[in-house]
Amino acid sequence: MGDITAKQCQIFTDSLKIWFSKNQRPLPWKGQKDPYLIWLSEIILQQTRVEQGLPYYNKFITAYPTVHDLAAAPDDEVMKMWEGLGYYSRARNLLATARFISKELKGVFPRTYKEVRALKGVGDYTAAAIVSFAYSLPHAVLDGNVYRVLSRYFGIHTPIDTTGGKKEFTELASRVLDKKIPEQHNQAIMDFGATHCKPKKPLCNSCLLKSSCHAFQQGEVNLLPIKSKKMKRKTRHFIYFCVKDPHHIYIRRREGKDIWKHLYEYPMLEVAEGTEISQNILQNSELWQQLFEGQTPVLENISPPYKQTLSHQTIIAKFVNVFISRELEAKKWGLLKIEPKKMENFAFPKIISCFLNDKTLYLRLD
C-alpha cells in the first residue's frame, strides 16, 4: 500500500470516470435518492446478479411503495415474494428493518453511516452504498467487484479473504474514492467490475486502463485477486415425506437456526451420507412411527435424488410419497394441513419447488 502513489490513485479515478461516462448501465434504481428504494435494491442485490434481482425489485416496489407498506405485510407474503432469490435471511431482515423504521423511527430512514450500518441485514458494503447513493456521503463500497478491480489494477497480492486483506483494500478503496461525487464513483467501480473487468474473460484489449493496469502489464489478470482458503461445502441428505390423505397435504414451517428459516417443507428426516433408503429404514424411523401411529400408510414411491447447492452446503433430497386414509393430528406434530391447491400460497426452498414442478409434469403425462 505504501508503494501506491497519490498520482496512481488519481489516474485510476479519472480513467474510471471517463469509462463510466460512456458505459454506465441504465437500471431503475440508479440516480434514485429515496433511501427506502436504495436500501431495498441493495438488499435484493446482495449475492445476486442484477439480471436476477431486477424483477424482484420491480415486484417489491409495486407491492410496497413505502416502508410502511412493507412493514405492514404479513411474513408469509414477503417470503413468498422472495421465493427463488435465495439467502432467505435477507427477507427476514428486510421485514424486521422495515418494521423498525416504520414504527420506531416513524418512517424516517437513518441518515448517518453509523445509524444505517446498525440496521439489521446491513453490512459495511450495503451501508456505504446507501449513504453514498442517497446522501452523497464519502464512503467507498467494497464488494467482490471492487476487490477484483483494485487487486488487478494496482497489483495487490494480499489474499482478499483475510483480515489484513480487508483492511488494505478498505484503505485503498477510500483513497481512490472521488469524494466530490461518491455516488457516481461507487456505481462506476461496481459497473466496471461487473461488466468490463469481469472474473472470467475481462475485456482487457479494449480497456481504457490497460496501459497503467498492473495485472495486464504483468500477465497476472487470471491470478488476481488471490484468495487464501478454498471453501469446503458439506453435503446433507434429506428425505421428505410427502404425506397425502384424500383431501390434504401436510407441510411445516422451518424454524430454528438452520437453513431456509421460515420457508415451508414436508416433514423431513435427515440421514447420514451413504444411508440406503429402504422401506425398512423409512418405516422404522422415529418420524414415521410418530406421524403414522395407529394408521396403515401406503408408501407409494420414492423420487430420484434432487440436488441444490447453497453457499456452504449441498443438499441432496429424496421425496417419499405416502398415502394415508385418515387425517393426521397435524397440530401435534407442528404441521399444517392444507388443500393441494393452496400449496402455491407458500414459499418453498428451490429443491422442493423443482420436485413439485416435476411432479406436475409426471401427473400430466400419467
Q: Which residues are near ligand SF4 by CB under 6 A?
A: 152-153, 196-197, 202-204, 207, 209-210, 213, 215-216, 221
139 Cβ partners below 8 Å, 6+ apart?
Answer: 113, 127, 128, 131, 132, 177, 182
Q: Tell me whether residue 218 or residue 357 sits nearer to ligand SF4 (CB atom).
A: 218
Closest CA to 271 of 227, 243, 298, 305: 305
Q: Tell me whether residue 201 or residue 364 sits nearer to ligand SF4 (CB atom).
A: 201
Is 339 catalytic? The answer is no
For 13, the grid coordinates are: 479515478
DSSP code string of 75-109: HHHHHHHHTTS--THHHHHHHHHHHIIIIISTTPP
Biggest CA–CA distance in the chain, Å, is 80
The least distance separating ligand SF4 from the CB of residue 193, rounded to whole angstroms, comes to: 8
For 98, the grid coordinates are: 422495515
Q: Tell me whether residue 197 or residue 315 sits nearer to ligand SF4 (CB atom).
A: 197
3-state helix, strand, coil in the chain (%, to 5): 50, 10, 40
The least distance separating ligand SF4 from the CB of residue 21, rounded to whole angstroms, comes to: 16
Range list of β-strands (E), the chain: 234-244, 249-253, 264-265, 268-271, 298-302, 306-309, 313-323, 336-338
Per the CB < 8 A criterion, the answer to whether 111 and 20 are in contact is: no
The least distance separating ligand SF4 from the CB of residue 354, rounded to whole angstroms, comes to: 37
**Which one from 42, 83, 168, 265 is the annotated catalytic residue?**
42
Tell me if the bond preceding 225 is cis, omega within 30° of 0.
yes
The least distance separating ligand SF4 from the CB of residue 171, rounded to whole angstroms, comes to: 20
The least distance separating ligand SF4 from the CB of residue 206, rounded to whole angstroms, comes to: 9
Q: Tell me whether residue 200 or residue 229 sits nearer to ligand SF4 (CB atom).
A: 200
Q: Tell me whether residue 209 or residue 243 sits nearer to ligand SF4 (CB atom).
A: 209
Catalytic residues: 42
